């Protein structure tokens, strides 16, 4: 059910850790959205963020659900996504839930069912979908016969991590990118995992085959002392390389018999992916159109990630 374009949307953010704080900052800048409520069980943390934006701070999920919101971002720890998301959806609140959608397939399905039953938008926060470099790559390969995709997403260990390993925290981004770029589903999974410094896996080499025959590979870890985020796509006609941090995209094409080829830089417009994501969420609310990243997308990404973990 679309919401009137004339109505200012009352918005809230649940969980104001690193990602939740960013959501609050950007939501406060989105046109015709009023950030009214911040929920965090830590009263000092929640109040500190609420004060920045003239919002009210609450410390319980019940108070957040009853805050009279039109839409909400759920950026709590993953184990709380489903219960809070379902409660909000049943209250008539549109929900953007941070990735991964939920800890289990059953929890993800509960959220999808609640959104459908209540006619609300459920969008999943796979923010790399909105990285301008990813969109530039998608356009560059739109009419190409894709052969393979390789993604490298590595960096140092994040002290905030405790519940999940690199597959759920990092690789799920790239599972989504692979599905998005190919428009196909992952059918075969060949994971290699290692645990060296963390309680969960901190190194993963993941190989996939998709329904349309494309092969893909993800390299991810928490062992590299610096962040690298690269995307490489090989097609029959070109090779496209993107740095997802600098958003520089290079296309190699026109290979000759002697092995030489031409190169060109592709323009990637300057835009904050999180702002594009939240604007897409609001657009879905306003128009009634399916969100850019649906609950079903989030479920499929989660299913692949859990298969990589043998769960």
> What letter would DSSP give residue 79?
G
Query: Bridge partners of 240?
Result: 233, 251
Sheet holding 146-156, edge to edge: 186-194, 203-210, 215-221, 146-156, 223-235, 238-243, 249-253, 262-266
Task: Render the burial of 258-274: b for 16+ CB within 10 Å, e for the rest.
Answer: eeeeeeeebebeeebbb
For 68-118, write each residue's pLDDT tens digit: 999 999 999 999 999 999 999 999 999 999 999 999 999 999 999 999 999
For 129-272, give the CATH class.
Answer: alpha beta
- pLDDT mean over 286-310: 97
Q: What are the boundaries of each domain within the chain? A: 9-120, 129-272
- pLDDT mean over 144-150: 97
pTM: predicted TM-score of the whole model, two decimal places: 0.94
Nearest CA-CA partner of 85 in 76, 77, 75, 95: 95
For 164-195, write each residue's pLDDT tens digit: 899 999 999 999 999 999 999 999 999 999 99
Q: At what angle do helices 18-27 and 43-53 cross, to 10 degrees?
A: 20
For 202-224, write each residue's pLDDT tens digit: 999 999 999 999 999 999 999 99
In contact, 233 and 149? CB cutoff 8 Å: yes
Q: What pLDDT is stored for residue 264 in this prediction?
A: 95
Phi, psi of 197 (to 5 degrees): -120, -15
Q: What pLDDT is stored for residue 6 in this prediction?
A: 59
- The hierarchical CATH code for the domain 9-120 is 3.40.50.720
């Amino acid at each position: 059910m679309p919401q009137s374009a004339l109505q200012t949307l009352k918005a809230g953010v649940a969980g104001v850790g690193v990602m939740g704080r960013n959501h609050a900052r950007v939501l406060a800048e989105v046109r015709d959205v009023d950030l009214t409520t911040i929920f965090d069980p830590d009263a000092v943390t929640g109040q500190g963020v609420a004060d920045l934006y003239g919002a009210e701070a609450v410390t319980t999920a019940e108070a957040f659900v009853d805050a009279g919101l039109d839409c909400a971002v759920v950026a709590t720890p993953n184990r709380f996504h489903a219960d809070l998301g379902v409660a909000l959806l049943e209250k008539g609140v549109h929900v953007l839930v941070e990735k991964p959608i939920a800890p289990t397939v059953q929890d993800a399905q509960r959220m999808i069912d609640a959104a459908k039953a209540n006619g609300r938008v459920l969008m999943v926060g796979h923010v790399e979908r909105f990285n301008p470099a990813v969109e530039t790559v998608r356009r560059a390969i739109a009419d190409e016969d894709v052969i393979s995709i390789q993604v490298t997403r590595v960096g140092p260990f994040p002290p905030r991590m405790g519940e999940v390993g690199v597959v759920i925290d990092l690789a799920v981004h790239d599972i989504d990118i692979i599905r998005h770029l190919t428009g196909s589903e992952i059918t075969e999974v060949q994971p290699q995992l290692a645990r060296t410094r963390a309680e969960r896996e901190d190194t993963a080499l993941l190989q996939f085959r998709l329904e349309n025959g494309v092969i893909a590979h993800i390299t991810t870890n928490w062992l590299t002392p610096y962040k690298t985020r690269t995307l490489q796509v090989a097609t029959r006609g070109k090779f496209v390389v993107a740095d997802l941090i600098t958003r520089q995209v290079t296309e190699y094409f026109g290979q000759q018999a002697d092995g030489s080829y031409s190169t060109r830089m592709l323009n990637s417009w300057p835009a904050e992916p999180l702002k594009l994501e939240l604007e897409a969420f609001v657009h879905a609310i306003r128009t009634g159109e399916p969100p850019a990243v649906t609950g079903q997308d989030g479920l499929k990404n989660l299913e692949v990630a859990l298969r990589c973990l043998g769960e």
